[in-house]
Structures are given as structure tokens and as C-alpha cells.
Structure 1
Amino acid sequence: MNAGVAGGLARTGRGRARRAANGSAAEGAARAGLAARGVIYLLVGILALQIAFGGGNRQADRGGALAELSDRPFGAVLLWALGAGLVGMALWRLSEAAFGVTGKDGHKAKKRLPAAARCVFYAFVAYSVLAFAAGSGGGGSSDRQSRDVTARVMEMPAGRWLVGAAGVAIVVAGVVIGVQALRRTYRKKMKLGGLSPRTRLLVDVTGVGGGTARGIVFAAAGAFAVRAALAYEPDRAKGLDDTLRSFARTPLGPWLLALVAAGLVLFGVFSFVLARLRRV
């Protein structure tokens, strides 16, 4: 077999693999994952709103959201469904990392590497949700987890610098998320043709408002990690709940927390919109 034939067979094999990854099963996994993400953000936003207005006894993070869901009718079934959806999200990101992302230059490393990182992240989130559903933990406080991880990393050689670098990366990611939301770059990945003006307005209100709030939360969490590294104090790192509560300790008080929380609710709704309209 000469090199040309071998190369042709290899390209054919990659093409078949790509088509399989982009098939109906992968599309279903992606849409289920986006919907599952929407549930978590919606619940976290609602819990944060309750905190802002002086109510609620749960933490505004993934653990609190899972506990809230488990108290609902058929809560166990909902938790397993949520975990399965997040597994679908991880598999979708894995297929993007392996075969390329939808859109221009989707086969390039600059698009595939972030997809790989998202795969790892959502695999961890899916594991934590499924562990909670199975009754073996997974819904612990994000604040305690953040402090514990920060403390362990700081014990490593150059750990302080690693924490600081991670914090800066999270700040940058938050800024990018917020700027992309304000620029409405999400439109490039959505099927918007034929939508009514009212539906387009819903897309932009949830996309801009939700994405901006999400970016602000990311940037704030990263800033706390940087502060922990500079002070060499792991306890200064904050998880999602403490990060959200910190907005209530600003001069704007609980109103800023309420505004950010409402934005997270919008991002939850936007995730549902993406589950319906995103190109996969």
C-alpha cells in the first residue's frame, strides 16, 4: 500500500469519526448538557436571590443547588437525569477536542484545547452530581473545597505562584466571558434564522445579561485567589457561595448581589435557549 492510499484511508477514517461525533447522538448529548447546566445556574441564581433578600438557608453554589433539587418531588430521579446530562456535556466537549469545534477554524488547536479543558471540568462536575445522587458526597461546600485545594497547592514547590497564576487565568477568563457576552458573539453559534423579534430579544437579554453576570463572578473568584496568593493565606480564596456573598458587602449592599444573582438566573435561561438553538 503506497503512502497516498494510506493517507486517503486515514482521512476517510477521520471523516467517518468526525461524522459520528457530530451525529444525532452527540447532538442530543450536547443539548442535554446545556439544559443540565441551565438547571444548576438557575438554582444557584435563585438561592443567591434568597440570600440577597435575607432568606434562604442554603449555600448559593452547586452543592446548595443539588440539595435544593433533592428536596423536590422525584428529586432522586432529577439528580440522576442532571448527572447524565452533564456526562453528555463532557462527551460533547471531548468530541470537539478530538475532532474539532463547529465553526471557522474549529479544527485548530486554539479551539480544541479549550474544548479539552471544558471536557475535564464538566467530567468533574458530572462526577460530583452523580456522587451526590448516589449518596456518597459530591455536594460539599464550594468555599471549603476552594480553601482546601488552595492550601494543598500552596504546600507544593512554587505553589504560591501556581495559585496566583490560576487566579489571574480565572480573572482573564471572566473578563473574556463578559466581553464576549456584551459583544453578543454567541450569535455566531446559534440558529437564529426565522426567529420572531420577541424570541431574538429573549436571546439577547439572557445572553448579554447572563453572560456578563457569569463573567463578573468568574473575575471576582479569580481576584480572591490572587489575593490569597499575595497574602500567602489560603483562607482568602473563596468558592462560589462566598464570592457571591462578597457582593453584598460592597457599598451597594445586597442590591448588587441581587443584580448578579438575577444575571445568573438569566444565564440559566440562556443555557436552555442554547439547548434549543445552538449549532452542534
Structure 2
Amino acid sequence: MNASASVRNGRTEVERAARGSVVKGAARAGFAARGLIYLLVGVLALQIAFGDRGHEADRQGALGEIAQQPFGVVVLWALGAGLAGMALWRLSEAVFGAAGPEGRTAKKRLPALARSVFYGFVAYSVLALAAGSGDGGGSSDRQSKDVTARLLGVPAGQWIVGVAGAGIAVAGLWIGFRAVTRAYHEKLRLGQMSRRTRRLVDVTGVGGGAARGLVFAAAGGFAVRAAVDYRPDRAKGLDDTLRSFAHTPAGPGLLAGVAAGLVLFGLFSFAMARWRKV
């Protein structure tokens, strides 16, 4: 066997492993981990809506709640491993292509790579917290303001922050649109669900995706405002973005609705762990 044939065979074996049961199991663990975090963030946001202001409704707040529970450290290790599995699966999609007819195109590979980096960072922060050497990634509000301040201090910083904020807002609208139109159906093994189960999954997918999209759109809007006003403190992380809903004319009721939607998205992520095509 010549060298080129050996390389091809080696690549085939690696690709087969990347599409094998281990990576698929890692992906499903990642969806379950994501679901637990969103579920807890939604519950914390509900508590804020009903008057409990002592919690942070973001990833750090959710992880802090877990850490305080019996066997919380064990759960954190499991969460970190699940998120690392999600990062591994997304990396395999970026390298070898995702499932579906357009899975090997750049428009599928590049987002997969970005998601791999994101979930890798989140997994690292969770595992560091479990090991006692981190804070779960820090407050989303502080991170948002710090990053915005640094970007506003570079040449063309206002444009960078403004374009990034607009991109996040558009992504939020797109997430909401795809949820309402049930575009996620193409990624689910619908044939394995009963009619009742499919209806329940649609409730979580539509409601949860719409709420998640609204939060992204609002956070992007705050970033644009920070760029226009040249004020980093105008930028908001997840916690501040959620709290801002309570200050609208709809009052805490809107925050409660969005929070309930995030709980639904957590449940939808559990459904994805069970029925997602990977």
C-alpha cells in the first residue's frame, strides 16, 4: 500500500470515528447539559420576576446554584464533560461536515467551528469551577461591559461594537423566526415520536426558541446602543438583559414570560438530546 492510500485510509478511519457512537453520545450529553443550564437560568429569572433580586439569571448564577446542592460538584463535572462532548461533536462537524446535503459546505462548517470554540470555553469554565479553580466564567454582565469597553478603546471600536451588536440582534430574530416556523423539524427524528410527544416538543421548541431569540435580539440592541452612545455600561449580559424586560411597560409579567420560555428551551434541549439527528 502506497503512502497516499495509507493517508486516505487513515482519514477514512478518523472520519468514521467522528461519526461513530462515541461522538454521537457526546453530542447528546452536550444537549442535555445545555438543557440543564437553560432550565436553571429560566428558574432564576422567574424568581427575579416574582421579587427575588438576590440571584443572577445567567450561566454563572445557574452553576452557583448547582454548586450549593448536595453532590453539586459531581453534577458540575458531569455538566463540564457534557459540554466538552458538545464541543467535540461541533468540531467533528467543522472538520468532516455535518449531516444533510449541505453538511460539507462552508456555511455549515464555519458556524460549527464557532460553536465548538464557544462550547469548549464554556466546558473549560465549568470544569475549572468543579475543580475549585474558577468562577464559572464570571458574570455575564461584567464580561459584556469589559469586552465592550476594550473594543471601544481601539480604532473603529464603535463600528466593531455596533456591527457585532447588530449581528447578535439579527441572529436573535433569526433564531426566533426558525423556532416559530418549526425549522428544527428537519433536525429531529420525528418518525420516532408519537403524535402527543411531537406536540409537546413543538410547545417547547416554539416557545423556548422564541424566548431565546428575543433575549439575543435585546442583548444585541443594547450593544448597538452602547456603540452609538460610546458608553460601555450600556451593554448588558444575560442577567441585565433579562432584568430589563421587567422595566418595560409590560412590567415583571414580560420577564416572567421570557423566563418561562427559557425553561421551555431547556426542556427542548432535553428533547434534542433524545431525538436530534447527529
What TM-score, normalized to structure 2? 0.96
Give the 5 Å matches for 1:54-65.
54-55=51-52, 57-65=54-62
Q: What CA deviation, in whole Å up to 9, does each residue of 1:141-193 have, x standing for no partner?
A: 11111101110111112112111111011011111111111111111111111
CA distance in 1, matches of 2:198, 2:256: 25
Matched-pair identity in %: 70
The answer to whether 1:213 aligns with 2:219 is no
Aligned to 1:119: 116
Asked if the contact 1:47–1:56 (Cα under 8 Å) also holds between the matched residues in 2, the reply is no
Aligned to 1:104: 101
Q: Partner amino acid for 2:179? A: A
CA distance in 2, matches of 1:100, 1:10: 19
The answer to whether 1:197 aligns with 2:214 is no
The aligned length equals 277
Indicate the RMSD between aligned Cα atoms, in angstroms.
Answer: 1.5
> Match for 1:184 among 159, 182, 206?
182
The answer to whether 1:88 aligns with 2:85 is yes
Aligned to 1:37: 34
> Match for 1:251 among 239, 249, 252?
249
The answer to whether 1:72 aligns with 2:73 is no
Aligned to 2:20: 23
CA drift of 1:11 comes to 5.0
CA drift of 1:9 comes to 5.9
Runs of 4+ with deviation above 3 angstroms: 8-15
Give the 5 Å matches for 1:140-155.
140-155=138-153
Asked if the contact 1:127–1:138 (Cα under 8 Å) also holds between the matched residues in 2, the reply is no
Task: Give 5+ residue unaligned stretches, structure 1.
Answer: none
What TM-score, normalized to structure 1? 0.95
CA distance in 1, matches of 2:175, 2:107: 16
CA distance in 2, matches of 1:209, 1:183: 11
* Corresponding residue SS for 1:225: helix
CA distance in 1, matches of 2:14, 2:225: 45
Task: Give 5+ residue unaligned stretches, structure 2.
Answer: none
> Match for 2:127 among 130, 137, 151?
130
> Match for 2:44 among 40, 43, 47?
47
Q: What CA deviation, in whole Å up to 9, does each residue of 1:171-226 have, x standing for no partner?
A: 11111111111111111111111421110011100011101110000010011001
Q: What CA deviation, in whole Å up to 9, does each residue of 1:117-148 have, x standing for no partner?
A: 10111111111111221222333211111101
> Match for 1:266 among 257, 264, 267?
264
CA distance in 2, matches of 1:229, 1:56: 28
* Corresponding residue SS for 1:193: helix
CA drift of 1:13 comes to 4.1
Asked if the contact 1:32–1:85 (Cα under 8 Å) also holds between the matched residues in 2, the reply is yes
